[in-house]
Chains A and B, each alone.
Chain A
Amino acid sequence: MFDTALFLLADGLTNGAVYAQVALSLVLVYSVTRVVNIAQGEYVMLGALTYADLLDGRMPATMAIVVTGLALWGVTSAWTARHNRRAMMRVLGGAALACLVLAGISAGVLAAPRSAFLAMPAAILLVASLGPIVYRVTVQPNPNASTVVLVIISVGVDMVLQGVGLLFWGSSTYSVAPLANGGISVGPLFLAWQSIAIIAIAIVIMAALYAFFEFTLYGKALQATAINRLGAQFCGIPVARAGALAFFLGAAFSATSGMLLAPLVTAHYDMGFVIGLKGFVGSAMGGLIDYPLALAGVFAVGVLESTSAYAWSAYREVLVFALLIPILLWRSHRLKPGQEA
């Protein structure tokens, strides 16, 4: 009994660490841009599939998505800037340059001997570059749109990304080799290296994020934007660029989580949405703005999921979402009436 509990706990923590990176992305994106990003889970899917492609020696289809996205962004921004020839050329040049650089990196990785340590950063870069594109095309044009409109726009983005995933990768599954096979036994408990890696990388990302926010000017600018957009703008912080950066980092973290998860579940075009939702449930605990509470939330979700999968497997998902209600009630009790949540 005790062994089972330990095993479930370890499993839950691994799940939690996967969701943690998505939750961190969600909190980052929400606090800087006010977008409750339903599409966040799709970057997990793209990360996993891009990584699988690079490991298998194929040019990742993500390249095509990025090129299309950059073209779309280039054309729309060039149109906005059509009266300023130099700005227009700068935009188009920038888009073309970004395409070339990303294609070069991908080609380089493919030419080099297969290595997870080359493929991973390249895949992260590819997927993460989609973040700012999505931000520039769908969020930036309406900085004052209501939260619900922004949510629905992100639902649209989610559909497009998921459909594109199906278009390029089909409905087959891709298996990805873990970073290292085997694991260690701690007493009765067996921990796979992959699980340890997931938790370790999650911790590294959190530490890096903390350092970024606390010790760099750019991080502080991002924080300022999160707290007060208008004020930040008056201080000369380019709010749009901060938003693009938040989307970039968010996509990067989510993609990382996808790559680490892929060996455990096999990669599939359909895998993103539910992971995104669970990250969402977890981060709801901190009201989408509190990093440590979001982490506590996703670990709770992970553990609940693994225990309920063991005890009542059919209702695993339902139980996880049902967890939201008490969390939200608890949150609302902490708010006085009239106080903004």
Chain B
Amino acid sequence: MSRHIWALLVGALLLVAPWVLPPFYVGLLTFTGLSAMVVAGLVLLLQAGQVSLGHGAFMGLGAYVSAVLCLRYDVSPWLAMPAGVLLTALAAAVIGRVTLRLRGHYLPLATLAWGIGLFGVFLAWGELTGGASGLDKIPAISLFGFELRDERLYACIVWAVALSIVVAFRRLQVSRIGRAVAAVRTHETMATSFGIDVAALKSRVFILSAIVAAIAGVLYVHHIRFISPTPFNLGASFKFLIMAVLGGPAHSAGAIVGAFVIQGIEWGAQDLFANRLGVSGNYEIIVFGAILVLVLVRWPGGLWPAHLLPTVLPPTTGGTPLPQRGHDADAGGVLLEVEDVAVSFGGLQALRGVSFTLGAGEMVGLIGPNGAGKTTVFNVITGLQRPTAGAVRFRGRPLARHTDRIVGDGLARTFQHVQLVPTLSVLENVAIGAHARTRCGIASGLFGGNGAEERAIFTAAHEAIQRVGLADVAYAAAGSLPLGRQRIVEIARALLADPVVLLLDEPAAGLRFSEKLELVKLLRRLRREGMTILLVEHDMELVMSVVDRLVVFNRGEVIARGTPADVQRDPLVIDAYLGGVA
């Protein structure tokens, strides 16, 4: 409860402050609030692993559209403002479509380019935007004939909006979508495997961040009532990004911290040089830059004290059960058929004529020496690799074309190299597994209405964690667990997808002996509970002791099939593993 009191206190302070501060500071406060809105969007982008150097221009686009509609077309601000936000959202959708598939440093570069491009349009389209000299006499917002021109009231309104945005974004951050965003940032493949449409999610997050930037823009322009391109230049975009990085992506409220710290440093440095030292000129950037470097060298994760305020998760009991798939129809039948699959990478034939089946309730192991093609088979089954020839049928139907649909059909997997979100708790990581079984989207994440579903997800996640024996670390950060337990978390996450078939990719790799024993126990228990499992594993002893059947690969071909005992006697298998004369 105390965190709510803190949040209320800070909120109240920000809303009261305009009424007691001297006018100069009120203006500063208003601008900090507007910055905090844009920065909240950028913090959201950082959470999704994206960076933008163009959000100053988005703010400008919203502002310009609203101003031009009011001035040139006599539209009321009440219509012009939503129009500005909407048009910015559209622009972001188009730009996002083109640029969001860029990765690494390409993305910030591209955002830099269109940021400068939009700025160029503001400058160049003189007959509409007034060019460099801008437009003035922009109407203020009026409410029942009363014009909102009071500085203090406006600061209050701006902060009310900014705080609402931050609270809503925080809600989103800890919702189903927030977890998906974290998954996309850390491991895109994993996100796709659990039913997250990575491209669509990235694009939505990007549009959302542009929308809040445009909201800041329209609030800005009807307050200042004058517009010129300068406040939306590259420098502004840089400043917003600096605020976002400084506040840090750990918590949406980092936006407020970042905006205040940067605005404070900037103002303080200006005051120091201009008023105290009496020197004119842009020297404050030295102090500004130095502090920026210092803070980020010391706290590269941003200034938000994440360790002081751990996330509060929904209750893990009493949720309604999540929808479950009927398994009865499968009993006794063949679930997975791999038929004559071939994969070639250029000239290299990785798989040739691979066929095998997996029956309901079976546990089958895929084994073979390094480079035999086990992982490729696995990738074909999970949709990450398309076969050059042949087909995979699951429950009698061809595999879904889109990789993110496969989990919904009932195939859930773990990864050879653990793909967890290290900063999230075990419980939240496991909850990602339920993505494809649940519905709540961005709107309910932002504005509420997802409470029941969240409770259901966490109840199920907690059950899965108990099932695999990790209840004691449910609230620990996944990255803090030893590797063996991280692999078990991966299994719990896959279980939460309510799979028909569980695909385990080398679950014992890198485990200690005692951890392997635990894993064997878990696999046997799952098997007893009726789970169908396909296992790729190197550890012979482990595989032999748990599986019903084995499929042995060598050089891209199946060389043997059968029970562990049969396979162990097979001369071809012995030859493949031990070398020797054929």
Interface on A for B, CB 8 Å cutoff?
30, 36, 137-138, 141-142, 145-149, 151-153, 155-164, 166-167, 171, 280-281, 284, 287-288, 314-315, 317-318, 321-322, 324-325, 328-329, 331-332, 335, 337-338, 340-341
Q: Does B161 contact A (CB under 8 A)?
A: no
Question: Which residues of chain B are within 8 angstroms of A151 by Cβ–Cβ distance?
Answer: 51, 105, 108
Across the interface, A142 reaches (CB within 8 A) one of B99, B238, B290, B297, namely B297
Inter-subunit contact A153/B296 (CB<8 Å): yes
Inter-subunit contact A164/B117 (CB<8 Å): no
Inter-subunit contact A325/B283 (CB<8 Å): no
Q: How many A-B residue pairs have CB under 8 A?
A: 139
Q: When chains A and B are docked, how far (Å) is the Cα of A288 from the Cα of B108?
A: 13
Min CB–CB distance B185 → chain A (angstroms): 10
Known: A164-B286, A340-B104. Contact between A324 and B281, CB under 8 A?
no
Residue of chain B at shortest CB distance from A141: B297
Question: Which residues of chain B are within 8 angstroms of A288 by Cβ–Cβ distance?
Answer: 105
Which residue among A142, A160, A335 has the maximum number of chain B CB atoms within 10 Å of its CB?
A160
Q: A151-B51, A160-B293, A321-B120 are in contact. List 5 more A-B contacts (CB 8 A).
A: A148-B46, A153-B296, A156-B291, A160-B290, A332-B101
Across the interface, B108 reaches (CB within 8 A) one of A137, A141, A148, A171, namely A148
Question: Which residues of chain A are within 8 angstroms of B112 by Cβ–Cβ distance?
Answer: 321, 324
Known: A315-B124, A322-B113, A328-B102. Contact between A138 and B245, CB under 8 A?
no
Across the interface, B113 reaches (CB within 8 A) one of A147, A153, A328, namely A328
Inter-subunit contact A167/B283 (CB<8 Å): yes
Q: Does B415 contact A (CB under 8 A)?
A: no
Give B86-140 interface residues, CB cut-off 8 Å to A: 98-99, 101-106, 108-110, 112-114, 116-117, 119-120, 123-124
What are the 10 A-B residue pairs with the smallest beta carbon separation, nearest first? A159-B289, A318-B120, A163-B286, A156-B292, A324-B113, A160-B289, A156-B293, A321-B116, A163-B285, A341-B103
Residue of chain B at shortest CB distance from A333: B101
Inter-subunit contact A332/B293 (CB<8 Å): no
Inter-subunit contact A149/B245 (CB<8 Å): yes
Across the interface, A163 reaches (CB within 8 A) one of B113, B283, B291, namely B283
Q: When chains A and B are docked, how far (Å) is the Cα of A338 from the Cα of B300?
A: 27
Q: When chains A and B are docked, how far (Å) is the Cα of A314 from the Cα of B293?
A: 35
Q: List 22 A-B contacts (CB under 8 A).
A: A147-B105, A152-B241, A153-B292, A153-B293, A153-B296, A156-B288, A157-B289, A159-B289, A163-B289, A166-B283, A167-B286, A281-B113, A288-B105, A318-B116, A318-B117, A321-B117, A324-B113, A325-B114, A325-B117, A328-B110, A329-B98, A341-B106
Q: When chains A and B are docked, how far (Å) is the Cα of A142 from the Cα of B299?
A: 9
Q: When chains A and B are docked, how far (Å) is the Cα of A338 from the Cα of B386?
A: 14
Min CB–CB distance A150 → chain B (angstroms): 9
Interface on B for A, CB 8 Å cutoff?
46, 51, 98-99, 101-106, 108-110, 112-114, 116-117, 119-120, 123-124, 188-189, 238, 241-242, 245-246, 281-293, 296-297, 300
Residue of chain B at shortest CB distance from A324: B113
Inter-subunit contact A315/B241 (CB<8 Å): no
Question: Which residues of chain A are within 8 angstroms of B108 by Cβ–Cβ distance?
Answer: 36, 148, 151
Question: Which residues of chain A are within 8 angstroms of B116 by Cβ–Cβ distance?
Answer: 317-318, 321-322
Q: When chains A and B are docked, how far (Å) is the Cα of A159 from the Cα of B290?
A: 8
Known: A141-B297, A322-B117, A338-B188. Contact between A159 and B102, CB under 8 A?
no
Q: When chains A and B are docked, how far (Å) is the Cα of A141 from the Cα of B297?
A: 7
Question: Which residues of chain A are within 8 angstroms of B51 by Cβ–Cβ distance?
Answer: 148, 151
Question: Which residues of chain A are within 8 angstroms of B291 by Cβ–Cβ distance?
Answer: 156
Inter-subunit contact A163/B300 (CB<8 Å): no
Known: A167-B286, A315-B120, A318-B120. Contact between A340 and B297, CB under 8 A?
no
Across the interface, B104 reaches (CB within 8 A) one of A162, A164, A317, A341, namely A341
Min CB–CB distance A182 → chain B (angstroms): 38
Q: When chains A and B are docked, how far (Å) is the Cα of A162 from the Cα of B285?
A: 8
Binding site of B, secondary structure by majority: helix, strand, loop or mixed?
helix
Residue of chain B at shortest CB distance from A339: B103
Q: When chains A and B are docked, how far (Å) is the Cα of A331 from the Cα of B98?
A: 12
Across the interface, B242 reaches (CB within 8 A) one of A30, A141, A152, namely A152
Which residue among A157, A159, A284, A337 has the maximum number of chain B CB atoms within 10 Å of its CB?
A159
Residue of chain A at shortest CB distance from B292: A156
Min CB–CB distance A225 → chain B (angstroms): 18
Known: A160-B285, A163-B282. Contact between A337 and B293, CB under 8 A?
no
Known: A149-B245, A315-B124, A321-B116. Contact between A159 and B285, CB under 8 A?
yes
Which residue among B51, B116, B287 has the maximum number of chain A CB atoms within 10 Å of its CB?
B116
Min CB–CB distance B122 → chain A (angstroms): 10
Across the interface, B296 reaches (CB within 8 A) one of A156, A321, A324, A325, namely A156
Q: When chains A and B are docked, how far (Å) is the Cα of A32 from the Cα of B114?
A: 28
Inter-subunit contact A160/B286 (CB<8 Å): yes
Inter-subunit contact A158/B245 (CB<8 Å): no
Residue of chain B at shortest CB distance from A30: B105
Inter-subunit contact A159/B245 (CB<8 Å): no
Inter-subunit contact B117/A331 (CB<8 Å): no
Inter-subunit contact B286/A159 (CB<8 Å): yes
Question: Which residues of chain A are within 8 angstroms of B288 by Cβ–Cβ distance?
Answer: 156, 159, 163
Min CB–CB distance A232 → chain B (angstroms): 20
Inter-subunit contact A166/B282 (CB<8 Å): yes
Q: When chains A and B are docked, how far (Å) is the Cα of A158 from the Cα of B290?
A: 10
Inter-subunit contact A332/B106 (CB<8 Å): yes
Q: When chains A and B are docked, how far (Å) is the Cα of A335 from the Cα of B286?
A: 40
Residue of chain B at shortest CB distance from A280: B109
Q: When chains A and B are docked, how far (Å) is the Cα of A166 from the Cα of B98?
A: 40
Min CB–CB distance A152 → chain B (angstroms): 5
Min CB–CB distance B491 → chain A (angstroms): 24
Inter-subunit contact B105/A325 (CB<8 Å): no
Known: A148-B245, A153-B293, A331-B106. Contact between A171 and B300, CB under 8 A?
no
Inter-subunit contact B106/A287 (CB<8 Å): yes
Q: When chains A and B are docked, how far (Å) is the Cα of A317 from the Cα of B123?
A: 12
Question: Which residues of chain B are within 8 angstroms of A281 by Cβ–Cβ distance?
Answer: 113
Q: When chains A and B are docked, how far (Å) is the Cα of A331 from the Cα of B112?
A: 16
Residue of chain B at shortest CB distance from A154: B293
Across the interface, A36 reaches (CB within 8 A) one of B46, B102, B105, B292, namely B105
Question: Which residues of chain B are within 8 angstroms of A166 by Cβ–Cβ distance?
Answer: 281-283
Across the interface, A338 reaches (CB within 8 A) one of B98, B99, B189, B290, namely B189
Inter-subunit contact B300/A158 (CB<8 Å): no
Known: A318-B124, A329-B98. Contact between A284 and B109, CB under 8 A?
yes
Min CB–CB distance B300 → chain A (angstroms): 4
Q: When chains A and B are docked, how far (Å) is the Cα of A149 from the Cα of B293?
A: 10
Q: When chains A and B are docked, how far (Å) is the Cα of A162 from the Cα of B284?
A: 11
Across the interface, A149 reaches (CB within 8 A) one of B109, B113, B300, namely B300
Q: When chains A and B are docked, how far (Å) is the Cα of A288 from the Cα of B241?
A: 21
Q: When chains A and B are docked, how far (Å) is the Cα of A17 from the Cα of B300?
A: 36
Min CB–CB distance A324 → chain B (angstroms): 4
Q: When chains A and B are docked, how far (Å) is the Cα of A317 from the Cα of B246?
A: 29
Known: A138-B293, A152-B296, A153-B293. Contact between A321 and B113, CB under 8 A?
yes
Inter-subunit contact A142/B300 (CB<8 Å): yes
Q: When chains A and B are docked, how far (Å) is the Cα of A142 from the Cα of B288?
A: 20
Residue of chain B at shortest CB distance from A151: B108
Inter-subunit contact B104/A147 (CB<8 Å): yes
Inter-subunit contact B46/A325 (CB<8 Å): no
Residue of chain A at shortest CB distance from B124: A315
Known: A146-B300, A148-B245, A340-B103. Contact between A155 and B238, CB under 8 A?
yes
Residue of chain B at shortest CB distance from A270: B282
Question: Which residues of chain A are within 8 angstroms of B117 by Cβ–Cβ distance?
Answer: 318, 321-322, 325
Residue of chain B at shortest CB distance from A142: B300
Question: Which residues of chain B are within 8 angstroms of A158 by Cβ–Cβ distance?
Answer: 289
Min CB–CB distance A92 → chain B (angstroms): 21
Q: When chains A and B are docked, how far (Å) is the Cα of A338 from the Cα of B291?
A: 37
Min CB–CB distance A278 → chain B (angstroms): 12
